[in-house]
Amino acid sequence: MGTPKKKTVINCVKQNCTCADNHGICYKVPFEAKDVSLKNLFCYFLYRAPGINSAHKGYLEQERSEILLEKINEKVDGKIQFCCPNAQMKKELAKINLADNELCLKCTRAMCKRSGSQKPPLESDLACLLRHIRNSIAHGYVYFRKSNQKFYLLFEDYTPEGKLSAKIVCCKEDLEQWKSILAS
């Protein structure tokens, strides 16, 4: 797939924030981040978050999964969305202003493509979100920017064929809240 493209940060198209500058964000190998607490969050979502494919993961029942996802989505005003496996990602991303390489980092939102597997048990939406975060970290598709002592993050996940399957914009504080919700 080659070297990831440099992303361009633009003013929020929904005017939900005050992005004052258009500086690009950095592609970083996740564990080369200098912030220790950010590295610890990457570790958690890579190895320990419930429902991900890891020897250290916790188990996540479907009913509890739905409750936890609802709590996570409440924190971001329902801006974590999912699409079917055969959806055209470009159209789905455009619906929530995540299309192309221009985006606002200050408005948390996500579009995650569900797994195409029809084998029971079917993947919950929370497991889908966590899988895409985990894959982004594991495969190095994490971009971030530090502004005013706050880390803004972009996670991307790709299929084995190199097609985008998820784009997640959040800040470090979002990940901390999500971790806390998952641990509750």
Spatial contact of 157 and 136, defined as CB atoms under 8 Å apart? yes
Structure tokens that stand for 15 in this block? 């005017």
The whole-number pLDDT of residue 101 equals 65
Tokens 């959040």 belong to 170
- Residue 105 token pair: 């980092």
Q: The pTM is what?
A: 0.82
Is pLDDT of 149 > 90? no
H and E: helices and strands count for the chain:
5, 8
Confidence of residue 35 (pLDDT cuts 50, 70, 90): confident
Over residues 86-125, the pLDDT tens digits come to 999 999 998 888 887 667 777 899 999 998 776 666 788 9
